[in-house]
Structure 1
Amino acid sequence: MKINEKNLCAFASSTTPVDREGFLDMRSEVGKSYQKRWFTLKGNLLFYFDKKGDKEPVGVIILEGCTIELTEEEAYSFKIVFQCEGGRTYYLCTSSQASMEEWMKALACASYDYMKLMVSDLQRQLDDAQAEVASDAALVTVTPPDEEPQVPPRGQRYNPFNRGLESEGKTVPGSRHHKENLRPDAPRKKVPFRDIHSAYGRKILADRSEWRASLARRSDDRPLIQL
């Protein structure tokens, strides 16, 4: 792969956000002595400089197709290994266990392959969440239109004293509750107003006659009250 060195150097010294930077000791496969270098990680590009503040890097490591592994040579050391044919191995060493773990994690997460794997896993989690929501929505039961809802509609209140009447079957004919208790498919018999007037009128006349008789019994010495 051809690399434009001029553009690469410009990117290394630009104000592009840095994922991680700091001093590391570095050696190659051939040499055995470590040299301190200033490292800057930008995306999947690991630049290293002779010293901090240099404009041009000494080299760059493209973190694709490599593995980050521990070494047994020096304390707090690890290596970047390219398994392909002709691939190189870079040995790096930090000053503490915490710094080594942070650098290894940052380098392992810098490759494009890792980001693609993370996106695939997030997409799978999103698909599972959407499937679970759809499954929960399918389990919601809908009250059939011919059945009364268990909860009264908003803004409508029921008289609690009517429950006793409904349980005993003592709803008043012709009342609102009587009409609500009728089945929608049951035939409704229309009662003429004249019949209703006559029935209630006879009841009123009987009560009036009984009231007059009681007054007459309690007022033997007085004349009957004429109404």
Structure 2
Amino acid sequence: MTSSLKRMLNAGSGPRPAQRIARLIAEKHWEEVRLDIDPEVRPDVVGSITALDASFDAQSFDAVWSSHVLEHLYAHEVYPALRQIHRVLRPDGFALVMSPDIEAVAQFILDHGIAAVAYQSSAGPIRPLDMLYGHSRAIEDGHHYMAHRTGFTADRLGNLLMTAGFPTINVRRENFEICALAFMPEADVADIESALARIGFDMRESAA
């Protein structure tokens, strides 16, 4: 039996709540549960995205937000992690998954070189090496788990999500980033897409 409380899992949260979808969380009156492998960021639950079953029952969440986490796994860990996400979602839930867009990074290297600054972030200037292999300064400071161990194109991430059991996946590429929206079988696709579009994630045009 599942709880009637609406819950969103921030899988790989880092040190703060999910800022990019904070408005959606407020609109839906969801409880946000922050999970991270690093106890220093003080998550609600210390754990790995590859072992969600160690911390949560099946069908525990209405949504999963995972922003720039999968690339920190080894390639063989990605599918099991997506299966773990599928397991903790309720039948009408969804997952919103973000990762660097390796195809866009490769094109930038061809156009501008590997040392050029692609964009500025809160962590400082981001170059292709940071997007390919992890943020150099963070790794230099001893946060070795921030290294990137695999990469994604839109096709690869979409296909992995479909193989993991999500029947409907929408994928968007923008600004060196892949955004994949994966629906559980009973999800109200139109309602979820509309809610996300209101906060800047318009996923309604491209489907995988």
- TM category (shorter chain) comes to under 0.3
- Larger relative contact order (Cα-Cα within 8 Å, sequence gap ≥ 6): 2
The structure carrying a bigger strand percent of its residues is 2
Rg larger in structure: 1
**What TM-score, normalized by structure 1, do the two folds share?**
0.19
